[in-house]
Structure 1
Amino acid sequence: MPITVWGLAIAQALLTTGNILLVAVSALIGKQLASHPALITLPVALQFLGLIMATLPAAHLMHKMGRKVGFIVGNCIGLLGTWVALQGLEANSLMHFASGTFLIGMAIGTGQQYRFAALDVCAIEQRPRAISMVMAGGILAAILGPNLAIWSRQWFDGNPFVGAFYGLFIIYVLALILISSLPLAAPIKHTVKQVTRSYAELFKQPLLVAAIASGAIGYAIMVLLMTATPIAMQQDEFPFSNIAWVIQWHVLGMYAPSFFTGGLIRRYSSRTVILWGCATLALCILVNVMGNSYWHYLIGLLLLGVGWNFTYIGATHLLTFTYEPAEQGKVQGINEFMVFTAAAVGSLLAGVGVDKLGWTWLNLASLPPIILVAWWIVRLADQRARVRERI
């Protein structure tokens, strides 16, 4: 496996460590600063809005100027966003803080392309393994992120959340240094004969619709329940350390399966792995509605992470069969845009969902979209939509 893939796995670990920090503290900061329950997850929602707004421009920038330029720009925006969020915390301003998370979201949106950058330097048969290796970088983040969230509470007196954003600043500096040193693929040069299809033509492919739907709904459900969990646990009077450990096991569930998800795709097909992901997400919901003890939260979120891993990596691999080289930036960009739009909706609904529906009904409301994805994937198989390799 090329050295670049290993470097991107470390970059993914740094990115995910920062994401876990945000997951652990953003909703709680929102609760501290918000004047209305519906605004509690505004910082998380604006983070995803920034992520969405960055996806298409980042994909096209990298397509024209190369991955390295795009990743460096993204990390610089992350540094700026961290500084703005810190100013918001100092001023006790929800909107100021949320503006910072918006910029951080743009940085995260750029970093989501790490898995695609790994595909650029691999042969076709290595792609499932390359995606899995990059995603497996999140295992390191599962250890660092929650512990950093706990340790950083002691760094500054007066506000237990300020230290987390200084930690995030350091993470973006390290990622910037790493990305600057990696030999990433140069921009793709096209000849005049290469013609790209329109979005309307691309979306006539059932395979593309299935890939995007699997990634989008799996991610939206994961973000919805992950963001709602700290709020629900706080309502049940669990200490912050318990919340952080539940998030840690969730992230382990998200990334630990990456060591074998690629092998499962090669052996059974990405379609089958996505169906397993849907079944695991449904099992997560079953555990969540059975009780609200610490172990219910921990096991439920562990299953949530595994379900996301299968749907997300399976959908990423499925996507690679839907475009030609000249269409890469276009398809990858629209995929990221739609996946993270769905995730933003999930994050925005988390706070108000716990407040208005309660933890049990919020979980039950998450079940129909999962069934929809499973139905579409089965329908795809029924239509015998097969391409060059097993899907």
Structure 2
Amino acid sequence: MNKNLWLLILSQIFAFTAAPVTVFLSGIIGSQFSPIKLLATLPMALSIVGIAIFAIFAAKVMSVIGRRAGFIFASVGSSLSALLASYSIIIESFILFNLANFLLGAGVAFSHQYRFAAVETVSKEMAPKAISIILLAGIGSAFIGPNVANITKEILAEHLYAGSYIALAALTLTSTIFLLFYKDGHKRNHVNKKISRSYLELISQPRFLQALIASAFAYAVMSFLMTATPISMHVMEKISLTKTGLVIQLHIAAMFLPSLITGNLIKKFGHSKIMYVGVMLFSVTILTSLFEQNFFNYLIALIFLGLGWNFLFISGTSLLVLSYREEEKFKAQGFNDLIVYSVQAVASLSAGIFISLTSWKTMNLVCVVFLIIIIISTLRADFKEQK
């Protein structure tokens, strides 16, 4: 733990609040403003589309202007986007609310670079622990974001939730305070294109592909089910907003709390074994869907969904760091995030349609396919390495 890592942690706590607030409120607000029921989760989905589209852009910007300037730029942009969301609620514009969520997603794309910035402050051997520590900061985001949003939702009495996004604007801007003290050892990244490997060459490495698939499908399963949860719980099952918010908060806590030990577990048992454990944890979520849809079962399902994501995403990201050369880092990181969040965007976009046309149980069973693909890619990489 060095000064730069501490500053990154504190900054990320506030910068990342945009993500849990979007999960918590966008589907509910979407169901109120959407002219078509199937489009209720469109704002959430567009925020993830924003993450996917801006993933490579975020890495490219930081390769030119550095981590600190890139994070500050994103924080200011996220703050303005939150104010736009507030305004869209005031004028009851579903289109403008969707645009605001898309732009908030762009800001989150920059926030996802914090984990790579953390890796750069330590040796490669300590990468899993650094990633775990920076993701652990997500717990702070998970509790600060939704709680502040809930407390401030009636600040503008005639416009429910408009105050939540005004508060979010203040939260995301707060991260710049810590970044002012962050020392960026940035040197402009000049990559020799003749030496740098192509995207096809990168992905042809079994370990790189394993890392990419683990991260991408971990996010696909998590986002697919999480996006549908507020609609399934609050809108369809009539479970209170307070209980729905608690489930989302504990889910996000479960996503990040295991980071206290995940890095050490990867170091002790290896990336592949932790990925298998992640798949097993996801399986508990799927099995829970076979029972009655009540508050307790949603709670268990979403907690294990968060745990499975943590094991798969941290092991995937830390394995990725070992699969590229130093001069390729921004290229590999940007490409990884483009694929990961594009897959997540498709999963989130389809969540609203699935929950409206099928059922919570069916959605969970669909996820079995993703788990099989993760297992196959991991077995293949292990087999190739042993040959």
How does the TM-score come out when normalised to structure 1? 0.95
Q: 1:2 aligns to what?
A: 2
TM superposition shift of 1:185: 2.9
The residue type paired with residue 48 of structure 2 is F
The residue type paired with residue 215 of structure 1 is S
Q: Which whole-Å CA distance do the structure 1 matches of 2:344 and 2:352 have between them?
A: 14
Q: Secondary structure at the match of 2:156?
A: coil
Q: Map Cα deviations across residues 141-177 of structure 1 (whole Å, 9 max, x no partner).
A: 2322332232122322123211210111011110122
Q: Which whole-Å CA distance do the structure 2 matches of 1:79 and 1:143 have between them?
A: 19
TM superposition shift of 1:195: 2.0
Alignment of 1:93-112 (within 5 A): 93-112=93-112
Q: 1:142 to 1:78 in 2, by over 3 A?
A: closer
Alignment of 1:307-326 (within 5 A): 307-326=308-327
- Structure 2 residues not aligned, in runs of 5+: none
Q: Which whole-Å CA distance do the structure 1 matches of 2:364 and 2:136 have between them?
A: 27
Q: Which whole-Å CA distance do the structure 1 matches of 2:203 and 2:250 have between them?
A: 37
TM superposition shift of 1:373: 0.6
TM superposition shift of 1:277: 0.8
How does the TM-score come out when normalised to structure 2? 0.96
Q: Map Cα deviations across residues 238-284 of structure 1 (whole Å, 9 max, x no partner).
A: 11100110011101100100000000010001111111111111111
Q: Secondary structure at the match of 2:296?
A: helix
TM superposition shift of 1:194: 8.1
Higher mean C-alpha deviation, range 252-261 or range 368-377: 368-377
- Structure 1 residues not aligned, in runs of 5+: 387-391
Aligned: 1:86 with 2:86: yes
The residue type paired with residue 112 of structure 1 is H
TM superposition shift of 1:16: 3.3
Q: 2:259 aligns to what?
A: 258
TM superposition shift of 1:139: 1.7
Q: Which whole-Å CA distance do the structure 2 matches of 1:185 and 1:255 have between them?
A: 28
The residue type paired with residue 270 of structure 2 is S
Q: Identity of counterpart residues, as a percentage?
A: 31
TM superposition shift of 1:289: 2.6
Aligned: 1:218 with 2:196: no
Q: Map Cα deviations across residues 167-194 of structure 1 (whole Å, 9 max, x no partner).
A: 1101111012222321133135558698
> Any conservation in 2 of the 1:72–1:179 contact (CA below 8 Å)?
yes
> Any conservation in 2 of the 1:21–1:146 contact (CA below 8 Å)?
yes
Higher mean C-alpha deviation, range 207-216 or range 76-85: 76-85
Q: Which whole-Å CA distance do the structure 2 matches of 1:379 and 1:194 have between them?
A: 30
Q: 1:128 aligns to what?
A: 128
TM superposition shift of 1:209: 1.1
Q: Which whole-Å CA distance do the structure 2 matches of 1:135 and 1:340 have between them?
A: 17
Q: Secondary structure at the match of 1:60?
A: helix
Alignment of 1:1-391 (within 5 A): 1-190=1-190, 195-234=195-234, 235-384=236-385
TM superposition shift of 1:288: 2.5
The number of equivalent residue pairs is 386
Q: 1:357 to 1:118 in 2, by over 3 A?
A: same
Q: Which whole-Å CA distance do the structure 2 matches of 1:244 and 1:74 have between them?
A: 27
Q: Secondary structure at the match of 2:187?
A: coil
Q: Which whole-Å CA distance do the structure 2 matches of 1:278 and 1:249 have between them?
A: 20
> Any conservation in 2 of the 1:54–1:106 contact (CA below 8 Å)?
yes
TM superposition shift of 1:126: 1.7
Q: Which whole-Å CA distance do the structure 2 matches of 1:51 and 1:104 have between them?
A: 8
Task: Supply the RMSD in Å over aligned alpha carbons.
Answer: 1.6
Q: Which whole-Å CA distance do the structure 2 matches of 1:384 and 1:201 have between them?
A: 17
Q: Map Cα deviations across residues 213-251 of structure 1 (whole Å, 9 max, x no partner).
A: 110110011011111010001111111100110011101
Q: Secondary structure at the match of 1:195?
A: coil
